[in-house]
Structure 1
Amino acid sequence: MKEIFRAIAWYVKGLMGEDAYQKYRAHQLAAHPGQPIMTERQFWRDHADRQDANPQGRCC
C-alpha cells in the first residue's frame, strides 16, 4: 500500500513541477561538473524571475 502512495506522490510532484530542482541539480552535476550549482532557494527565485520575464500560457 505504501508503494502505491509513493507512486502517486511521485506522479503529482512531477505534474506540479516540484521535482524541477532535483532535475536541475542532476543535470548540472552530469553535464557541468565542477560548475557552481544554485541553492534550491536561488533556483526557485530564478525560475520565478524567468517566468515573469517570459510569460507563457499556463493554467494558473
Structure 2
Amino acid sequence: MSRVRAALAKARFLVREFSGEAAYDRYVAHARTHDPDARVMTRRAFERARTDAREADPREGFGCC
C-alpha cells in the first residue's frame, strides 16, 4: 500500500508542477520567509499578475494576430 501512496504522491507533485499550480505555494512560502508580516497576494491576484507578465513578454509569443 505504501508503494501506491508514494506513486500517487509523486503523480500529484508532477501534475501540480506541470500545471503551474505549485507556483502560488512557492510564492507564499518565499514571501513568508523573507517578511512574515508582508501582505501576500491572493491566488487570483497572483495568477492575474503571472498572466499579465507572460503576455507582456515578447519571447512568449502572445500577441495579436
**TM-score, reference length from structure 1:** 0.81
Structure 2 equivalent of residue 21 of structure 1: 24
Using the TM superposition, give the Cα deviation of residue 57 of structure 1 relative to its aligned residue in structure 2, in angstroms: 4.1
Name the count of aligned residue pairs.
Answer: 58
1:4 to 7, 12, 28: 7
The answer to whether the 8 Å contact 2:54/2:60 transfers is no
| Alignment partner of 1:38 out of 20, 36, 41 | 41
Question: Any unmatched runs of 5+ in structure 2?
Answer: none
Alignment gaps of 5+ in structure 1: none
Partner in structure 2 of residue 49 of structure 1: 52
Q: Determine what percentage of the aligned residue pairs are the same residue.
A: 29
Aligned CA RMSD, in angstroms, stands at 1.6
Larger relative CO (CA 8 A, sep 6+): 1 or 2? 1
Higher helix share: 2
**What TM-score do the two structures reach when normalised by structure 2?**
0.76
User: How big is each residue's C-alpha offset from its partner over 1:7-31, in whole Å with a ceiling of 9 and x where there is no partner?
Assistant: 1110221123210000000000001
Larger Rg: 2
